[in-house]
C-alpha cells in the first residue's frame, strides 16, 4: 500500500481505539472523585441504573472517537511548503504549519499506543504555547518518513515523496545509535541528582492524599500529636536522625524509579546532521533536535557525578515563553566526558572553549548573606524575644541552618563565573549541582545591563542575556568590562547571519 504525503490521509484505523481510550481517561480523571464520593455517601446504590448508564456513556464515547478519526486528515502542501492538519467534529479547524518554521518533531508512544501498536507524532514551532500539530495514531514507518520530511535540513523539493508501508525505504530506516545510556548509568544518575525535586514530589503527594482522606473521613491520618508522641519517646537527636534516614531512603528510591522509568533505554543517534533521541519505559518518546536551532546547552555535574565520570546535558530550543522553556527542555542523562564532547561537536561543530573568566564582586556574597542568614535570624530572635521565649530551646536548629546556608552561599559564589570566548558565552552557577550554560553569541536576541546608583562607585552591574530559549543572568560583575563585551556581542549579531529559527 502506498501512502503519499501530498494527499490528505487519515490516521491508522486502530486510532479509533486510541481516541476512545484517551477520551475515557479524561472523563475518569475529571469525574473520579465525584464517583468515589457518590459511591461512599450513597447508602442504597441501584446497580440496575448505574450499569446501563455506563454502557450508554461508553457507546457515546465510541461514536465520538469514530467521528474524531473520520474528520482528522493531514498532508503536506508541496507548493506552499506547509503541513496541513484538519480536525474537529462540530467545530472544524484547519492548521497550516510552514515547514521552515518547524522547530521540533517528536515521535512518542504512550502505554495505550504501545499496546495497540501505533505511535503519536507531535509538531512544534517556537510561536505557540502548545504543540501546533499532533497525530495520535500512525504506524512507525509512516511516522519516521513524515518526521524525516518535516525536518529535511536540505529543504529539497521532493517530486515524489511516498512510502511503501510493506517494504520501508532506506530513508525511513532508524539510524544506529552512537550513544546508549546503560541501566547502571541511570541508577547512578538517580542516586546523585534531583534531590529537591523528589522531596517536593513527596510533599505534594502527601498533601494530596492527606487532603482527600480528610475530605472523606474528616480525620487526620498523620497529625501533630502523633509526631509529638514520637519525638517524646526518643531523644531529639535520635528522632531527627531516624526521620532523616527514612526521608533520604525514600528520596533515593523515588529518584531512582523516576529516572529509570523516564529515561529507560536512552539512545542518541545521528540523522541528517540532527540528534535523534529515543527513551522511555512505559511512554516511549522520540525527539529530533536540530543543532542550528539549539539556543542554550547546559552541562550539569556535582561532586559525586564527577567521581563517577557522569554528567547531565539539558538542551533548550526556541520557545514562546518562560513556562514553555522549562517544559520543553530536552534532558540527556548519564553521559561521560567523551560522550559529552561528541554531543557538543554535533551541536556546535566544535568543543566550545571557556575563554576569558570574569568573577562577580564580593558584594554579591555579602548581599546573599544578608538575605539568606541575617534577615531569617533577625525574625527568629525577634520572635523568641518578644513572642515566644521557648523558641530559644531550639537554638541548635538556628545554628544548623546558619552553617548549612553559609556553606551553600559560599560555594554558590565561588562557582559563579562568566566565561567569554570569540564565539561562545559560558555562564557557570550553582552550589552543589554546578551548571555551565553555553550560548552561541550569534544567537543572542537582546542584552540587558543594569546598575544601581550605589554600584557606580565600585563600577559593578548586572547582565541579562535574552535568547529564544530563555534568559541567563550574571550579577555584579565589572560593569565597564560587561559593557565592552555587550558592544562586541551586538556587533557580532548584526554582522553574522545565523539561522536559529
DSSP character string of 1-13: -EEETTS-B---T
Q: What is the DSSP string of 17-32?
A: HHHHHHHHHHHHHHHH
pLDDT for the residue 340: 92
pLDDT for the residue 41: 58
**Bridge partners (DSSP) listed for residue 108:** 120, 285
Q: What is the 3-state secondary structure (H, E, C) of 252-310?
A: HHHHHHHHHHHHCCEEEEEECCEEEEEECCCCEEEEEECHHHEEEEEEEECHHHHHHCC
Q: What is the dihedral of CA 64, 69, 72, 75, to 10 degrees?
A: 170
pLDDT in tens, the chain (501 residues): 445 688 888 888 888 888 888 888 777 776 666 666 566 655 555 556 667 777 777 888 888 888 888 889 999 988 888 899 998 888 888 888 888 778 778 888 888 888 888 888 888 776 555 567 888 888 888 888 888 788 774 444 334 434 444 434 434 455 677 788 989 999 989 888 877 666 666 666 666 555 555 555 554 444 555 555 555 555 566 666 777 788 778 878 888 888 899 899 999 888 777 788 888 888 888 787 878 888 999 999 999 899 999 999 999 987 654 444 455 688 999 899 999 999 999 899 899 999 999 999 999 999 999 999 999 999 999 998 888 888 888 888 889 899 999 999 999 999 999 999 999 999 999 999 999 999 999 999 999 999 999 999 999 999 999 998 889 999 999 999 999 999 999 998 888 766 655
**Bridge partners (DSSP) listed for residue 94:** 86
CA distances from 437 to 118, 343, 413, 434, 466 (A): 37, 15, 16, 10, 13
Q: Is the torsion defined by CA of 418, 421, 426, 429 positive or negative?
A: negative
d(CA 19, CA 120): 11
Cβ neighbours of residue 186 closer than 8 Å, sequence gap 6 or more: 259, 260, 263, 264, 266, 333, 334
Q: Is the torsion defined by CA of 446, 415, 292, 148 positive or negative?
A: negative
Q: What is the dihedral of CA 171, 172, 177, 178, to 10 degrees?
A: 20
Q: Is the torsion defined by CA of 430, 435, 440, 445 positive or negative?
A: negative
Cβ neighbours of residue 66 closer than 8 Å, sequence gap 6 or more: 16
β-bridge pairing 446-450 and 162-164: unpaired
Show the domains of the chain with their CATH numbers: 2-173 (no CATH), 175-205+234-289 (no CATH), 294-359+416-495 (2.30.29), 362-413 (no CATH)
pLDDT for the residue 43: 56
pLDDT for the residue 325: 47
CA distances from 483 to 441, 461, 478 (A): 15, 10, 9
Residues in the chain: 501
Burial 274-285 (b: 16+ CB within 10 A, else e): bbbbbbbeebbb
d(CA 110, CA 105): 16
pLDDT for the residue 106: 82
Q: What is the dihedral of CA 143, 146, 148, 151, to 10 degrees?
A: -120
pLDDT for the residue 271: 74
Residue pair 14/116 in contact by the 8 Å Cβ criterion = yes
pLDDT for the residue 157: 37
pLDDT for the residue 209: 57
Residue pair 423/439 in contact by the 8 Å Cβ criterion = no
d(CA 391, CA 84): 66
Amino acid at each position: 500500500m502506498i501512502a503519499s504525503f501530498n494527499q490528505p490521509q487519515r490516521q491508522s484505523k486502530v486510532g479509533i481505539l486510541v481516541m476512545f481510550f484517551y477520551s475515557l481517561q479524561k472523563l475518569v480523571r475529571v469525574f473520579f472523585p465525584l464517583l468515589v464520593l457518590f459511591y461512599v455517601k450513597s447508602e442504597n446504590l441501584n446497580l440496575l441504573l448505574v450499569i446501563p448508564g455506563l454502557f450508554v456513556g461508553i457507546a457515546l464515547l465510541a461514536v465520538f472517537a469514530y467521528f474524531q478519526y473520520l474528520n482528522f486528515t493531514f498532508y503536506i502542501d508541496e507548493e506552499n511548503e506547509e503541513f496541513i492538519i484538519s480536525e474537529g467534529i462540530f467545530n472544524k479547524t484547519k492548521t497550516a504549519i510552514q515547514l521552515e518554521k518547524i522547530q521540533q518533531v517528536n515521535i512518542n508512544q504512550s502505554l495505550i499506543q504501545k499496546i495497540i501498536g501505533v505511535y503519536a507524532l507531535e509538531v512544534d514551532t517556537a510561536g505557540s504555547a502548545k504543540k501546533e500539530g499532533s497525530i495520535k495514531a500512525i504506524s512507525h514507518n509512516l511516522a519516521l518518513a513524515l518526521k524525516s520530511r518535516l525536518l529535511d535540513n536540505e529543504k529539497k523539493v521532493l517530486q515524489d515523496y511516498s512510502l511503501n508501508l510493506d517494504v520501508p525505504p532506506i530513508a525511513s530506516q532508524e539510524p544506529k545509535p552512537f550513544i546508549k545510556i546503560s541501566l547502571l548509568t541511570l541508577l547512578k544518575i538517580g542516586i546523585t541528582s534531583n534531590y529537591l525535586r523528589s522531596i517536593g514530589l513527596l510533599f505534594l503527594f502527601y498533601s494530596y492524599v492527606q487532603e482527600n482522606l480528610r475530605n472523606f473521613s474528616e480525620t487526620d491520618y498523620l497529625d501533630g500529636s502523633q509526631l509529638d508522641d514520637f519525638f517524646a519517646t526518643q531523644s531529639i537527636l535520635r528522632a531527627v536522625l531516624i526521620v532523616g534516614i527514612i526521608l533520604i531512603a525514600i528520596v533515593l528510591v523515588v529518584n531512582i524509579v523516576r529516572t529509570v522509568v523516564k529515561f529507560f533505554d536512552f539512545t542518541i543517534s545521528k540523522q541528517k546532521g540532527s540528534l535523534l533521541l529515543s527513551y522511555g519505559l512505559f511512554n516511549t518518546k522520540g525527539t529530533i533536535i536540530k543543532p542550528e536551532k539549539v539556543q542554550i546547552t547546559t552541562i550539569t555535574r556535582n561532586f559525586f557525578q564527577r567521581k563517577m565520570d557522569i554528567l547531565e546535558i539539558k538542551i533548550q530550543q526556541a520557545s514562546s515563553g518562560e513556562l514553555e522553556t522549562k517544559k520543553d527542555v530536552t534532558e540527556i542523562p548519564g553521559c561521560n566526558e567523551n560522550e559529552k564532547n561528541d554531543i557538543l561537536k554535533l551541536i556546535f561543530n566544535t568543543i566550545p572553549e571557556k575563554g576569558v573568566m570574569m568573577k562577580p564582586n564580593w558584594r554579591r556574597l555579602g548581599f546573599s548573606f544578608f538575605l539568606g542568614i541575617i534577615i531569617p535570624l533577625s525574625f527568629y530572635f525577634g520572635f523568641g524575644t518578644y513572642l515566644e521565649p521557648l523558641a530559644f530551646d531550639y537554638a541548635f536548629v538556628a545554628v544548623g541552618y546558619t552553617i548549612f546556608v553559609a556553606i551553600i552561599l559560599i560555594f554558590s559564589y565561588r562557582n559563579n563565573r562568566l566565561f567569554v570566548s570569540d564565539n561562545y558565552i559560558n555562564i557557570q552557577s550553582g552550589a552543589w549541582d554546578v551548571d555551565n550554560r553555553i550560548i552561541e553569541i550569534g544567537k543572542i536576541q537582546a542584552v540587558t545591563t543594569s546598575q544601581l546608583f550605589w554600584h557606580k562607585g565600585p563600577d559593578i552591574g548586572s547582565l541579562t542575556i535574552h535568547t529564544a530559549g530563555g534568559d541567563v543572568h550574571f550579577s555584579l560583575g565589572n560593569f565597564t568590562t560587561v559593557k565592552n563585551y555587550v558592544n562586541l556581542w551586538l556587533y557580532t549579531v548584526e554582522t553574522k547571519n545565523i539561522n536559529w529559527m
